[in-house]
Amino acid sequence: MVAVVGIPFDAYSSFMLGAARAPAQIRDVMNSGAGNLCSESGIDLAARTDFIDLGDMDINGESDAIENIEATISEILNRDCRLISLGGDHAITYPILRSFHKKFGRLEIVHLDAHPDLYDTFDDNRFSHACSFARIMEEKLASRLVQIGIRALNQHQKQQAERFGVEMITIPHLEKAASTRLAGPLYLSIDLDVLDPAFAPGVSHHEPGGLSTRQVIEMIQQLQAPIAGADIVELNPKRDPSGITAMVAVKILKEVAARMLELPLGLT
């Protein structure tokens, strides 16, 4: 079973709020009639009984959001579901990974992002969306962290990456992504700002020079290791008046779900 859950949380965004409205926006676009739920490989998610939408989780305030997300995700994973979470800002990935670690042990993480999100702390907040992968690596929640598409690396985050043994594939070396061997199981974290703002303007942090929608889709389709879980984060509907970025999120959701269903994990 592959389940989708929305996490409408953006309180730990450092620059601009708005990502909390993303799950609702993604569903609106998905159900708008503008397209169907078929993946490019021909999996029709609308016809699959092993693909379900659990709706949005309740976020009760900021103070216990991290604990709340972790508890809710654990509950879902204990139903033997694999899970695609819709953000929300990237801060949600840390509590999600705590839950996945309890269920699956140390996963290999593939992280698509313009930014490494490895700050030790940002704006005095250790749970900021700019810090999630520092927390994940400190707690040894992953056996590997492969970051792809990075193009805003400063000295502090470079040191953090070295300290944690992060395998970072920056934009000038993007061709290395194709030759990276992954054993799995994987956790796939997709920050939509990995895409060039020309393709996905509806994100809080515009970082030009990014991937095309086609490149991201092909990376998903070429994954050969089973995927235990994924998230699609940082859609900001406030910056997406045409709805194109939400449509990109839906497209990525379909391709990730199809790839998960194509590569079974051995769960029911």
Contacts to Mn ion by CB under 5 A: 90, 113-115, 117, 191, 193
Distances (CA, A) of 68 to 20, 75, 178: 15, 11, 36
Q: Going edge to edge, which strands form the sheet with 82-86? A: 51-56, 2-6, 82-86, 227-233, 186-191, 107-112, 142-150, 167-170
CB of 110 to Mn ion, least distance (A): 13
Query: Cβ closer to Mn ion: 205 or 251?
Result: 205
CB of 35 to Mn ion, least distance (A): 26
Query: What token pair was written down for 197?
Result: 């703002």
Query: Cβ closer to Mn ion: 94 or 100?
Result: 94
For residues 24 and 238, give the distance between their C-alpha atoms in angstroms, rounded to a whole number: 13
DSSP SS3 for 174: helix
Query: What token pair was written down for 74?
Result: 């654990």
Element holding 199 (H helix, E strand) = none
CB of 47 to Mn ion, least distance (A): 33
CB of 229 to Mn ion, least distance (A): 16
Q: How far apart are the first and last CA of the chain?
A: 6
Query: Cβ closer to Mn ion: 114 or 177?
Result: 114
Query: Cβ closer to Mn ion: 10 or 191?
Result: 191
Question: In one letter, which amino acid is 182?
Answer: L
For residues 5 and 8, give the distance between their C-alpha atoms in angstroms, rounded to a whole number: 10
CB of 129 to Mn ion, least distance (A): 6
